[in-house]
Structure 1
Amino acid sequence: MEFIKKVIKKIKDGTIKEMYHEAKWIYSYIRNYKMVVIFYIVLGIVGTFMSLAGSIASKYLIDAVTGYDSGRIGLIISVIISMGLGNVAISAVLSRISTKINVKVGNEIRADIYDKIINTDWESMSSYRSGDLLNRLSGDTSTVAGSVIGWIPSLITKSVQFVAILSVILYYDPTMAVLALISAPVTLLVSKVLMKRMRKFNKDIRIISSEMMSFNQETFSNLQSIKAFNLVNVFSNRLRDVQKKYTDVNLDYNRFSIYTSSFMSVVGMVVSYSCFGWGVYRLWTGHITYGTMTLFLQLSGSLSGAFSALIGLVPSAIAATTAAGRIMEIVELPRENMKDEDLVDRIAVTCDDSGLAVEIDNLNFKYADSEKVVLENANIIANPGEIVALVGPSGEGKTTTMRILLGLLNIDEGRSIIKSNDDLECDISASTRRLMAYVPQEKTMFSGTIAENMRMVKEDASDGEIIEALTAACAYDFVSKLPEGINSKIGERGNGFSEGQNQRLSIARALLRNSPILLLDEATSALDVATERRVLRNIMSLNTNKTCIVTTHRPSVLNMCDRVYKISQTQVTEVTTEEVEQMVVDF
């Protein structure tokens, strides 16, 4: 009754309920392979009975050679060899099935989680470090995938093995069965007490593993800056601090495991010696044969081993459900806000010639994790054929405005809309992103060739179209001088090209996309003034109805803009022509 009360308490405090919820999530992937898993379980059960049959056959072989039944030695040996070969074959098949399922389920979960991560609300996801996400996508997913074969089928096959062995021992000697099960209540008690601690250790280890991966990923992404600021020793020392935390957590778990495993080993020794002593006594008194004695020794060890294996599934279940919980934490984040997709499709079809207008109307915004208001009653208009600039001090809301226009952020109050020439309009969201091309200040080129990077936004683009976009972005002058031209390699994050070259390549890619709305977020900051102005002229000459919105710290191109808005201290104000001219003079 006391045990039942404690179980009920654990259910109420959420521990078992949480594990059940996580296990149910794992099952959602298992059911896609249920027929293969069932076949795996059946083979495992067959292997269990073949192994048991081999043990019983060994008993009769020993009895035969000791004179009890010497007439069937050949048949018994044949059975033993057949059972052994059968077990080898089954083990090989099980190994193949296990690998196939692990790989397939692992890939399916990773692909599913990957898709969900990249479609998750940007603001919700931004609080997670990329290394942590990678650890969840790789390590946690591998643990969950391994549990499909390593946990649930093992629970069934080991249970069958336990019951079968116990039945055979009971048939020959009930007392031996009782002795073999001495460890059962002790093992259950230890597992019940330690389950919560195991779960905590699993969480701590996965958290510190994510921290380690995040640190390494961040280091390698910023290696140039680390070297430039002579921070190599600083980061080397930080690594050792993270490693110390990693070591402490793992050693704590190791100490915990040693104590529990040593205790259970002692219990196992007591059971083994008890069974051996009882078997010797029964043999001495003439109640059993040498063959039966051998069978008892084999099966008592197997029974204890099967029970220990069942209990041993508890840590693997905890590891799997803990990993599932970490994955679910990411998967259950809110999805991106996709509004009016059918309406966006209609606008996309009809806007080619006339272009699209962008309007922000009485917009208020603050980030979810902050009380600070970023934009208050903001109003911005950008019409087809216009270049509209956003200026102002750093950190005052220019990039935030760009994120709102891209549908990455959800606004608190007001409206941000796109309007077509035939009076169709829709709220800006993730679905309107298809109508825009975006170029940020930082490097956004991917590893591969220049042409492959360009074709990411237009798969069927011809070499001529790529060259035309590169020319408009003032990039073809250096691309044409490369040994392989547009088929030249680009390193990760644009490695191998200067900041200015990366920006021009990014602008070329945006132009090739040929969206009616172009957003340039400090995208020309690394260009000289003459090149910057030439790029902007080329952009507008390619499509006179393109709507171009730029953020900039340099007022040198402001006199090319149709309108200029200043963002400062949460307010957005339109700048007059005289103020623009004064900005240019002051600069």
Structure 2
Amino acid sequence: MEYIKKIFQYAKPYKGYAYLNIISNIFYALFGTLAFVSLMPMMKVLFENQEPVTEKPILESWLTIKDYFQEYSNYFINTYINKVGVETTLMYLIGLVIATFLLKNLFGYLAMYFITFFRNGVLKDLRNDLYKKTIELPISYYSEKRKGDTIARISNDVEVIQGSFLSILELIVREPLTIIFTLITMVLLSPQLTLFVFIFIPVSGFIISRIGKNLKKKSERVQREQGAFLSIVEETLGGLKIIKGFNAERIFNDRFKNSTRRYFKFSNSLLNKQNLASPMSEFLGIVVIAVLLWYGGTMVLENTLEPEAFLVYMGLAYNILTPAKAISKASYGVKKGNAAAERVLEVIETEPLIKDRPDAIYKKDFTEKLTIESVSFKYDDEYVLKNFSLTVPKGHTVALVGQSGSGKSTIANLITRFYDVNKGAISIDGFDIKNISQSSLRGLLGLVTQDSILFNDSIKDNMLIAKENATDEEIVEALKIANAWEFVKELPLGIETNIGDSGNKLSGGQKQRLSIARAVLKNPPIMILDEATSALDTESERLVQNALENMMKNRTSVVIAHRLSTIQNADTIVVMSKGEIVEQGKHQELLDQKGVYYGLVEMQSFQ
């Protein structure tokens, strides 16, 4: 129950609905019992097996309430028979039965009505917090996690928790109250018969608890496997070109089938055990009712119990079966919900490795320089950057070049603080970026990556990610600077055109120019271009290169590139190898040295 208690913290804003649900459930349980009791006066009229009471009885003690109720109902029926006749009295009594059943079902509906707002509100807030944490967690967190598992937690696990909330409120309010009210009435009708019911409830509860003992573990396996096959689906959709290009459909088909086969096996085990609770509780109930029929029937034959009281008693005894079954199912729901809550809270309670310090400053501008001082960094065990130092004055363009794996893109990840350095420091205007709030740090930075990351939305909405309140004129101007307006204006709806999943309605060059336009619209003082032109063809590169040159004027830029055309005009070119600087200077200076840079150019590594 530990995790469910934590989830209940989300119920506080909706406690009003919970109180209304509880009140409705109390009346539901009360009228549910009275509905059966209301049958008794009608049966007295039908059986006519009692001497009429002509004087209104008086309740002398709560200990004699049973006798008082019988005498008063006898008096009430006899009075009405004398006034309006037997048939009309019977109609009144039938109306009383209908009214009590109507009130029972009315309050049952109201209970469900209020609980709907309650549990859907909790569901909304929990899902919002889970998504918020999903965005807040650093990129390093997801390098070790499957995306499909995260999707499963946001979708399926939260739904399971929602269902368990309804189960808990039924478990602690409606069904127990129904049982309590029914048992009190049964005791008043016949204490001897009720003894069997008191024996049945704990025996049934013990058997059902044994059945559901390891339900949480089984539920965890089902939810974990669902995350696994969702991951396969996510990876398949993302890599469909590769799968088809390498004729790997069978491989991925087999992976998915293996996962769904495990899910099939685990789900069957879970549901079969869960479904055993209801028939088991009903069977145990029927066994007790059979005993009650024998014992109660004997009492009726011996005239120690009235026939109408016995019939009402049997109805009440069967009335206990429904809440007993509901409690058993609800207890299963709690165990299943506990497993789901554990998975959801694992994400929500994860402390991000990268977070703002309490005294972090909000830096609004960039005035002097970006400094990387003696930085060493490793993703796992081996350092990919070793004692790396670099100063980028304001307005300068610094290019990082080198073979793949030399640590170039790692520099971009560290400047943007997607990862934190292991040793050394990165500072802006003398302020360590660890002392600057992440939002203000990234507000100073513009990022264009090798992979054009666009969203399934219109061009305009993709641009507004950079500047939420940008006008259409500002968007068009940014598109023109990035040489993207020439194709955007030809689209059917212009900037309102939807570009599809990951922008796949556009060519690679068009997508990249949109990414650059988005960075232009943001207009940050520091621009980071991580191999921004590597995905472009020659014609697109020429168009984009002019845009990049215009964008980088009077702007501090860190350019990571393979192609000579991208970096030959840089103020400083830094040549990297195995996480270290091996050469540094201007384009022509490095060529004249005929060192590593010269070798890279000769091998046309930038082409």
Q: Shift of residue 247 of structure 1?
A: 0.9
Q: 1:284 to 1:173 in 2, by over 3 A?
A: same
The one of 24, 37, 43 equivalent to 2:18 is 37
> Partner amino acid for 1:430?
Q
Q: 1:534 to 1:581 in 2, by over 3 A?
A: farther
Q: Shift of residue 492 of structure 1?
A: 1.2
Question: Secondary structure of the residue that 2:557 maps to in structure 1?
Answer: strand
1:326 paired to 2:343: yes
| Cα shift readout 1:53-84 (whole Å, capped 9, x = no counterpart) | 11001122112211145635344222211112
1:164 paired to 2:172: no
Q: 1:343 to 1:270 in 2, by over 3 A?
A: closer
Map of 1:493-504 to 2, 5 A cutoff? 493-504=502-513
| Cα shift readout 1:275-318 (whole Å, capped 9, x = no counterpart) | 22222212221222221121111111122433343333211111
**Equivalent residues of 2:205, 2:328 under 8 A apart:** yes
**Equivalent residues of 1:143, 1:320 under 8 A apart:** yes
The one of 59, 62, 66 equivalent to 2:43 is 62
**Equivalent residues of 2:130, 2:154 under 8 A apart:** yes
Aligned partner of 2:285 in structure 1 is 268
**Equivalent residues of 2:171, 2:331 under 8 A apart:** no
The one of 87, 96, 110 equivalent to 1:79 is 96
Aligned partner of 1:508 in structure 2 is 517
1:440 paired to 2:446: no
1:358 paired to 2:342: no
Q: Structure 1, unaligned stretches of length 5 or more?
A: 1-18
| Whole-angstrom distance in 1 between the partners of 2:268 and 2:432 | 61
Question: Secondary structure of the residue that 1:560 maps to in structure 2?
Answer: coil
Aligned partner of 2:401 in structure 1 is 391
**Equivalent residues of 2:354, 2:419 under 8 A apart:** no
**Equivalent residues of 1:388, 1:549 under 8 A apart:** yes
**Equivalent residues of 1:122, 1:336 under 8 A apart:** no
The one of 543, 546, 560 equivalent to 2:555 is 546
Question: Secondary structure of the residue that 1:526 maps to in structure 2?
Answer: coil
The one of 464, 475, 485 equivalent to 1:455 is 464
Question: Secondary structure of the residue that 2:390 maps to in structure 1?
Answer: strand
| Whole-angstrom distance in 2 between the partners of 1:299 and 1:46 | 17
1:147 paired to 2:164: yes
1:430 paired to 2:430: no
> Partner amino acid for 2:131?
Y
Aligned partner of 2:323 in structure 1 is 306
Aligned partner of 2:493 in structure 1 is 484
| Cα shift readout 1:509-564 (whole Å, capped 9, x = no counterpart) | 01110011111112211224575466345334346331111222333433222222
| Whole-angstrom distance in 2 between the partners of 1:182 and 1:305 | 17
| Whole-angstrom distance in 2 between the partners of 1:50 and 1:98 | 19
| Whole-angstrom distance in 1 between the partners of 2:569 and 2:113 | 67
> Partner amino acid for 2:395?
G
Q: Shift of residue 40 of structure 1?
A: 0.6
1:224 paired to 2:234: no
Q: Shift of residue 467 of structure 1?
A: 2.2
> Partner amino acid for 2:428?
I
- RMSD of aligned residue pairs (Cα, Å): 2.4
| Whole-angstrom distance in 2 between the partners of 1:572 and 1:303 | 79
> Partner amino acid for 2:372?
I
Question: Secondary structure of the residue that 2:554 maps to in structure 1?
Answer: coil
Q: Structure 2, unaligned stretches of length 5 or more?
A: 50-73, 82-88
| Cα shift readout 1:394-421 (whole Å, capped 9, x = no counterpart) | 23422222111111112211101112xx
**Equivalent residues of 1:43, 1:94 under 8 A apart:** yes
Q: Shift of residue 86 of structure 1?
A: 1.5
> Partner amino acid for 1:155?
I
Q: 1:286 to 1:461 in 2, by over 3 A?
A: same
Aligned partner of 2:154 in structure 1 is 137
Q: Shift of residue 424 of structure 1?
A: 5.8
> Partner amino acid for 2:251?
V
**Equivalent residues of 1:448, 1:489 under 8 A apart:** yes
> Partner amino acid for 1:583?
L
1:371 paired to 2:352: no
| Whole-angstrom distance in 1 between the partners of 2:406 and 2:168 | 53
The one of 526, 529, 545 equivalent to 1:517 is 526
| Whole-angstrom distance in 2 between the partners of 1:543 and 1:499 | 22
| Cα shift readout 1:235-282 (whole Å, capped 9, x = no counterpart) | 222221111111111122244346565544442331121122222212
| Whole-angstrom distance in 1 between the partners of 2:319 and 2:158 | 32
Question: Secondary structure of the residue that 1:159 maps to in structure 2?
Answer: helix
**Equivalent residues of 1:360, 1:417 under 8 A apart:** yes
Fraction of identical pairs, as percent: 26
Q: Shift of residue 334 of structure 1?
A: 1.7
Question: Secondary structure of the residue that 1:390 maps to in structure 2?
Answer: strand
| Whole-angstrom distance in 2 between the partners of 1:146 and 1:248 | 23
Q: 1:507 to 1:168 in 2, by over 3 A?
A: same
| Whole-angstrom distance in 1 between the partners of 2:326 and 2:356 | 52
**Equivalent residues of 2:179, 2:320 under 8 A apart:** yes
The one of 372, 379, 390 equivalent to 1:380 is 390
Question: Secondary structure of the residue that 1:381 maps to in structure 2?
Answer: strand
| Cα shift readout 1:413-451 (whole Å, capped 9, x = no counterpart) | 1101112xxx66644663311111111111311122212
Question: Secondary structure of the residue that 1:457 maps to in structure 2?
Answer: coil
Alignment: residue pair count: 558
| Whole-angstrom distance in 1 between the partners of 2:503 and 2:546 | 25
Q: 1:424 to 1:215 in 2, by over 3 A?
A: closer
**Equivalent residues of 2:157, 2:343 under 8 A apart:** yes
| Whole-angstrom distance in 2 between the partners of 1:366 and 1:56 | 75
| Whole-angstrom distance in 2 between the partners of 1:338 and 1:254 | 42
